[in-house]
């Protein structure tokens, strides 16, 4: 899958069936917060109606496009 890492394809999508590439792209486009990690990867957070009061965090590589990880971030405060 273009625009994702092998880790995302083989590990994350398998263990988190509620995720999709489209959903992750939506988070990236509508994020309420964006943060660059010390290693250069970029975190995006968005609250999606599908998950109620929970925020989905998407982590991309340094390019800001290639999805590497995604998960519900229960500790995020807006």
Residue 50 located in a structural domain: yes
Q: What's the structural domain count of the chain? A: 1
Tokens of 53: 């009061």
Residue 78 located in a structural domain: no
Domain residues for the domain of 40 are 6-73
Average predicted confidence (pLDDT) for the chain: 95
Residue 1 located in a structural domain: no
Residue 32 located in a structural domain: yes
Closest CA to 4 of 65, 76, 71, 46: 65
Residue 34 located in a structural domain: yes
| Percent of the chain scoring above 90 in pLDDT | 82
Write a three-state SS string for 2-61: CCECHHHHHHHHHHCCCCCHHHHHHHHHHCCEEEECCCCCEEEEEECHHHCCCEEEEEEC
Query: pTM value?
Result: 0.94
Residue 41 located in a structural domain: yes
């Amino acid at each position: 899958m273009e625009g994702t890492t092998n880790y995302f394809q083989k590990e994350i999508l398998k263990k988190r069936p509620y995720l999709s590439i489209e959903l992750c792209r939506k988070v990236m486009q509508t994020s309420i917060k964006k943060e660059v990690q010390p290693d250069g990867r970029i975190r995006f957070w968005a609250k999606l109606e599908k998950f109620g009061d929970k925020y989905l965090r998407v982590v991309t590589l340094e390019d800001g496009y290639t999805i590497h990880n995604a998960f519900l971030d229960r500790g995020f405060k807006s």
